[in-house]
Every structure is written in structure tokens, then in C-alpha cells.
Amino acid sequence: MDKIKRIGNIKLPGYVLCRDFCFNLSRTKNRTMAVKEMQLPAMSKGWNIVEKTIAVLLALASLFVLYNEVSIVAGILGENSVVKTSATYNQLFKTHHLPIIVSILGLFGGCMMLFNDKKGWMMSLIATAMFCILFYLSSRSNSTDKTLPFASFYKSYGITSIICFVLFLLLLWKPLRTKYRPTSKNWMWLAGIVILLIIDKMIF
């Protein structure tokens, strides 16, 4: 016969108490494991400095690009001598929407990465990859057009593209991958968004 234990006026079999104890112990263990998974592994002091430096540079550069793009669009729309037609708006959208999107990703990604946010790290990867592509394409197309007044200036975009590529590689380096522990689903989202943005650039 099962052993009986009295709690107040209620008699409970011993196996019920044992079952409840094991269940609570399992829940406590799972909760502890979940907390450990949420905690990001520590990096060396050097890589912490590298990460925060990249975050600040990306946020500032993205803010500059965003301000520049918005200023250009606002300047054209506010110019009284320019006749606004649907073609004008379409051209503005085609030329400036992608840099604005990427700069917003970079701005928020850099700021969020300062606070060790995994989504911020992922957004920073997307932004640096796209900045690399955008600056390279802009350098290649505009620097060869001698009719532009600042054609030689666009050659510096090639250097900027290389810098963005280096930042992208640093964000992919093992210490940061170990810290943020991206899953297969995270990599699929990253690749999918970058591919969509590249297709957007090819279409427009």
C-alpha cells in the first residue's frame, strides 16, 4: 500500500508528493537554463572596444547618409523652379528610397548594438553589407561620368565601400558570432533581407 501523508485534514499518497517535487524541480531547472541562454557570453576587452567602435561609427555614418538623402529630397521638392510631376516623384523614389532604408537600419542597428542587442547586431550586418554594395555601385557609375562636376569625388566612394566591407567582416568575426549566437533561422532572415534589398537595387 502507498504511504499516506496528512496535510491538514487532507491525506495525500506519497507518490503524489514525490511527483509534485520532481515536477517543481524540473521547472526550476528549465527556468535556470532559460536564464543562462538569455545571458550573452562575455568577450575580451579588446573585442568589446571593437564592437562599440563599430556601433558608434555605423550610427554616425548612417545618420549622416540619412540627413544627406532627406536634405536632397526636401531641397528638390521645395525648389519652386522645378515643375513637380509624377515622373519627378518616381525618380526621387527610385534614387533615394534604398539609401534611406539602409541608413535607418544602420542608425538603429548601431544604437541597439551599443546595448548588446542581438537584433541590433543583425541590423548592423545588413546595413554594412548594403552600404558596401551601394557605395561601390555609386563609385563605379559616377566616377566614370566626366560630365558630372564632382566625378573625381565619387572615387572616394570606393574606399568607403572597402571600409564598410571590413566592418561587415569584423561583425561576422567569431567573437561576435559567439556572443550573439545566431541560429539557422537568423541567418536565413539575414540572407533573405539582403537579397531582397539587392533585388530592389537591381529593379530601381
9-38 per-position pLDDT tens digit: 544 455 444 555 555 555 654 554 444 445
Domain shared by 95 and 21, yes or no: no
- Per-residue confidence (pLDDT) for residue 84, from 0 to 100: 73
Are 155 and 61 found together in one domain? yes
State the pLDDT at residue 156: 79
27 and 58 in one domain? no
25 with 100, same domain? no
Same domain as 86, residue 19 = no
- At residue 36, the pLDDT reads 44
Q: How far apart are alpha carbons 50 and 113 in whole angstroms?
A: 12
Which of the residues in the chain have pLDDT under 70?
1-41, 81-82, 143-154
Q: Are residues 84 and 174 in the same domain?
A: yes
Which pTM was predicted?
Answer: 0.77
- Judgement on whether residues 117 and 28 belong to the same structural domain of the protein: no
Q: Are residues 143 and 102 in the same domain?
A: yes
> In the chain, which ranges are E strands?
4-7, 10-13
- Do 14 and 94 lie in one domain? The reply is no
> Is there a single domain that holds both residue 102 and residue 145?
yes
pLDDT digits (tens, 9 = 90+) for 153-177: 667 788 999 999 999 999 999 999 9
- Look at residue 138 in the predicted model and tell me its pLDDT: 87
The pLDDT of residue 188 is 97
- 197 and 152 inside one domain: yes
Residues 32 and 106 in one domain: no
Range of the structural domain that residue 113 is part of: 42-203
**CA 101, 55, 111, 96: dihedral to nearest 10 degrees?**
-20
Cα–Cα distance measured from residue 183 to residue 190, given in angstroms and rounded to the nearest whole number: 11
Number of domains, the chain:
2
